[in-house]
Amino acid sequence: MSEKSCSTGGKRNEEKLIAGNWKMNGSLAANEALVRALLDGLGGDAGCDVAVCPPSIYLAQVRALLGASERIALGAQDVSQHENGAYTGDVSAAMLRDFGVRYAIVGHSERRQHQAESDTHVAIKVQRALAAGITPIVCVGETLAQREAGETEVIVKRQLAAVIHLNGHCISEIVVAYEPVWAIGTGRTATPEQAQAVHALLRAQLRAATDRADRVRILYGGSMNAANAASLLAQPDIDGGLIGGASLKAPDFLSIIAAAS
């Protein structure tokens, strides 16, 4: 890809990013209540970048609720690896872009597990998103068995390497999310030190691939909540959070945003 084709037009990433992954939750009524509560709670300036990632069927609704406001960006939970055509059920990067989607989660462990997404699929999806001007939030993370077998470093580096390999110089345009699988939705969080250690490994891997590695935001995800956010976000290589369960409750999500601001 040319330099132009992977540019998401992103500013320098000095602010933290807090992104809410709603997963397969919500309804027209619940989404409206949640978005209104978030906009009310945020006031003028959030002090960090904020995104919400509803199920794709609700992207248009949430886009309308967010209005022209830049306070909360819209994200998708996935993007097709195909550009267009006979791929029933898929949603392309260009379609997401049509609805003002700025971020797309790619390679979430739930998709790797339930939809058999491989490292190669994830790398192609990242390429599709970047080509459409969407910032992919690339999820990597080890299972509990892999951590206990001492394989954390090998696993996360392998997952990120596939993305780097296919996306070359565009790699500085991505967001990475370190999400230990054993911490997702379990209430069990990585300690700040455990998370920082993996984030530092990922940062080093990015530095070997690009001299712009310091602009790549590396988010932590896995049972981040109002109580543990501040200590995780204080780590030098934790540049934000990808939040599942706690992003569905406005007071909790707002507390995490406040901790990042």
Residues that bind ligand PEP (CB under 6 A): 21, 23, 179, 184-185, 221-224, 242-246
Angle between helices 250-260 and 28-42 in degrees, nearest 10: 40
Residue of this chain nearest to ligand PEP (CB atom) = 244
- Catalytic one among 110, 117, 173, 179? 179
- At its nearest, how many Å lie between ligand PEP and the CB of residue 71? 22
- Is residue 114 part of the annotated active site? The answer reads no
- At its nearest, how many Å lie between ligand PEP and the CB of residue 21? 4
Between 30 and 204, name the residue whose CB sits nearer to ligand PEP. 30
CA–CA distance, 85 with 105 (Å, rounded to integer) = 22
Burial code of 127-146, b = ≥16 C-beta within 10 A, e = fewer? bbbbbbbbbbbbbbbbbeeb
> Which ranges of 118-216 would DSSP assign to H, the alpha helix?
119-131, 144-148, 152-167, 192-209
- At its nearest, how many Å lie between ligand PEP and the CB of residue 155? 17
Between 133 and 221, name the residue whose CB sits nearer to ligand PEP. 221
- Is residue 173 part of the annotated active site? The answer reads no
Between 16 and 133, name the residue whose CB sits nearer to ligand PEP. 16
Phi first, then psi: give them for residue 141, nearest 5 degrees. 170, 155
Kindly list the catalytic residues. Answer: 108, 179
